[in-house]
Amino acid sequence: VGCRTISRSTGLPLRTSQASMEPKNTPIHPSSPLSILYRKIELKVPLVIGTLQWGTTVIDDKFINSKGVITEKAAQQIVEEFSSAGVTLYDTAEGYGGGTSEKRVGRLLGKNAIFMTKFLPAPWRLFHSDLEWAVRQSCKRLQVQQIPIYLLHSPVHWREIEYWVEACAICYKKGLILSMGLSNCNAAQVRRAVTAGEKFGVPVVCNQVHFSLLDYNSKELHEMKETCDKLGVKVIAFSPIGQGLLTEGLSDEKWASNKAAKIMRLKREELTRLRAVVLELAQKYKKSMAQVALNWCIQHDVIPLVGCRTPQQARDSVGCLGWSLSIEDVKKLDEVALDKSTLDSPFWRRMFFVSLFAIVMVTCRFLDFLGFGSVVPIK
């Protein structure tokens, strides 16, 4: 895998620009779906599995997951479904369940998957050493010596984004990470991070953002995507189906509790035309609405990130692979896509959510330290 070029039909490259950034240590298994060669990350299957709901604390059970913590058996079945389809890139974060999501991912997958995880820039984290400590702790929880892609979870902090890029460069040179990624960054922040990466010597390879038919026509999203394409930074789309807004199962009850709709301040009537076109194409291609929405992301050279609670949802997700929407149908969806963006939120609001998320992370971690980190049996 590490010595061949993977075609566009079987994999999507994540690129960086500096020859001096070729990593010295690449302990990735030879059969891995992810390889590092000449500053390029190659991904065979364009799909990432999100594990936000894989935390195991009582807070995850009662507040984060509306249907409770996913059982170990269900998580294992989800892994098997994705593995059988060749999907083995998993996204997690130190903040998910205070690190219990990372523990579960490491416990269930071991060396059979590739991980990308994130550093949460809490307001009280101020130094390079804070990030390095977080990297080392994530390595322990994931049971790895090196993290292939390590993301800055948010650019919102008292420190400039360049400071955290430099911190990642220090970890990169120590062999703790193989590359750096971004999350929730707009066009200007991507440019600054890539410039800093070139200065300090760490490849910045991806930007994980809200990217879907709900916000495709926003000015901020288009600017970010164009910037990433120009700089060779791969866009990874979280919430590509709007947490169920673009699926057949959107009931009145689910609409009322949908977090994406609340964050984006959506009105249900705004979805009518979009959902009608997605449903029309789902029937045309004999696919589900979710599969159409995910394949639409892939046609835009974006890697969708999906979160699943059940093996059935995993099977439905992999159904977005192996086929393509026509150019005409992609344009048809582009035309009815909405313009709700999360990249233009004011600083104070984003700082509030980062701070709240950080408090939840610390609370979950304390529960785990006390021995209350898991509410489901681990066999």
Average pLDDT, the chain: 88
* pLDDT bucket at 42, cuts 50 / 70 / 90: low
Model pLDDT for residues 234-281, shown as the tens digit of each residue: 999 999 999 999 999 898 888 988 888 888 889 999 999 999 999 999
Query: pLDDT value at position 239?
Result: 94
Confidence check: pLDDT of 369 > 80: yes
Confidence check: pLDDT of 4 > 70: no
Fill in the DSSP letter of residue 314: H
What tokens does 295 get? Answer: 């394949």
| Percent of residues, the chain, with pLDDT higher than 70 | 88
Model pLDDT for residues 315-366, shown as the tens digit of each residue: 999 999 999 999 999 999 999 999 998 888 889 999 999 999 999 999 999 9
Query: pLDDT value at position 29?
Result: 42
Distance of CA 26 to the CA centre of its chain: 22
DSSP assignment string, 237-280: EESTTGGGTTSTT--HHHHHH-HHHHHTT--GGGGHHHHHHHHH
Confidence check: pLDDT of 106 > 50: yes
* pLDDT bucket at 1, cuts 50 / 70 / 90: very low
Model pLDDT for residues 295-318, shown as the tens digit of each residue: 999 999 999 999 999 999 999 999
Angle formed by the axes of helices 311-318 and 289-299, nearest 10°: 50
Model pLDDT for residues 149-207, shown as the tens digit of each residue: 999 999 999 999 999 999 999 999 999 999 999 999 999 999 999 999 999 999 999 99
Confidence check: pLDDT of 28 > 90: no
Compute how many other C-beta atoms are within 10 angstroms of the C-beta atom of residue 141.
20
Contact 99, 134 (CB under 8 A): no
Average pLDDT in the 272-295 region? 98
As a dihedral over the C-alpha atoms of residue 326, residue 327, residue 333, residue 336, rounded to 10 degrees, the angle is -150
Query: pLDDT value at position 137?
Result: 98
| Percent of residues, the chain, with pLDDT higher than 90 | 77
Based on DSSP, count helices (H) and strands (E) in the chain, helices before strands.
Answer: 14, 11
d(CA 108, CA 214): 33
Q: Which residues contact 150 (CB under 8 A, 6 or more apart)?
A: 116, 117, 118, 119, 135, 138, 168, 171, 176, 177, 179, 180, 181
Q: Pick from 111, 70, 69, 71: which is nearest to 90 by CA?
A: 111
Scanning 6-86, the segments in alpha helix (DSSP H) are 58-59, 72-84
